Amino acid sequence: MITEEKLGLLLEETQEIAKQVGAFIRKERQHFDVEKVEHKGFNDLVSYVDKEAEKKIVAALSKILPGAGFITEEGTNTTRADRYNWVIDPLDGTTNFIHGVPVFAVSIALIDGEEVILGVVYEVNRHECFYAMKGGGAFCNDTKIKVSPAPDLSASLIATGFPYYNFELIDKYLAALKSMMQKTHGLRRFGSAATDLCYVASGRIEGFFEYNLNSYDVAAGALIVQEAGGAVTDFSGGNNFVFGREIIASNGRIQEEFSKEIQAIWK
């Protein structure tokens, strides 16, 4: 069993790993060759940078917590453990990275069963390291962060992601965008779910929703939101947001109103 003291040490070590890999990603971006991009599926892009970054993360995490398993985006290690597993997105925002749009992050979480107990998101371009452990609050570069005090949707800025290969629910997405445009300060699409969640946690935006995400996209960021005082659910208001492929996160104050808007469209 991981003690609170051990978890704190793991959190510190994970931050350093994320920063080191972030430096590798930043360096590779300076001379990145777009012709080396691969396609995992329609509009589902990957590069050697994603793969190498993941290998570096897996190798480093294996040393600090031997015996833990892995859930990884690029599949460089898929060994699952009975209890503790690292959930890794080595480069969240690959499309941004490929095109030179400066919003992409390293996301690392540790889960106990299906409960997230540690989360680190390193936003590579702004050198911002967001992190939290269960029950310990949320931080960015050693400064405690908290969600926005905005009281309702009309005072909120909302972020989301757009479908880029599964367009079956595109009409619902368009309806949700229409609703949010009319009832909030506006919508943003940064292109990195991990970053979106950390922006909710730090009070820069009030809410985020997206469908068809994976555990490695949201695990770390979801914990950071919760530890910053926010609320996170799936679209039905339940707790299956890490593995359920849908998430609504907010400052908590707008959660009920926000969720009702999304639920009315997704029913």
The tally of domains found in the chain comes to 2
Higher-scoring residue by pLDDT: 232, 41: 232
The per-residue pLDDT for 168 is: 81
Those residues whose C-beta lies under 8 Å from the C-beta of residue 21, and which sit 6 or more positions away, are 53, 56, 57, 90, 106, 122
Residue 251's CATH number: 3.40.190.80
User: What is d(CA 138, CA 181) in angstroms, rounded to the nearest whole number?
Assistant: 29
pLDDT of 223 over the 80 cut: yes
- Backbone φ, ψ for residue 219 (5° rounding): -55, -50
User: What is d(CA 105, CA 70) in angstroms, rounded to the nearest whole number?
Assistant: 19
DSSP symbols for 104-157: -EEEEEEEETTEEEEEEEEETTTTEEEEEETTS-EEETTEE-------SGGG-E
User: What is d(CA 63, CA 229) in angstroms, rounded to the nearest whole number?
Assistant: 32
The per-residue pLDDT for 47 is: 75
pLDDT category at 214 given cuts 50, 70, 90 is very high
- Average pLDDT for 239-247: 96
Residue 139's CATH number: 3.30.540.10
**Measured torsion, CA atoms of residues 13, 58, 100, 250, in degrees rounded to the nearest 10:** -60
Q: How many residues does the chain have?
A: 267
Q: Are 121 and 161 contained in the same domain? A: no
The per-residue pLDDT for 170 is: 86
pLDDT of 167 over the 60 cut: yes
pTM of the model: 0.95
Long-range contacts of 79-82 (CB under 8 A, 24+ apart): none
Domain interval for residue 37: 4-144
- Average pLDDT for 59-84: 94
Q: What percent of the chain has pLDDT over 70?
A: 94
Q: Are 130 and 168 contained in the same domain? A: no
* Average pLDDT over the chain, rounded to an integer: 93
The per-residue pLDDT for 32 is: 76
Q: Are 88 and 173 contained in the same domain? A: no
Burial class (CB in 10 A: 0-12, 13-18, 19+), 39: exposed
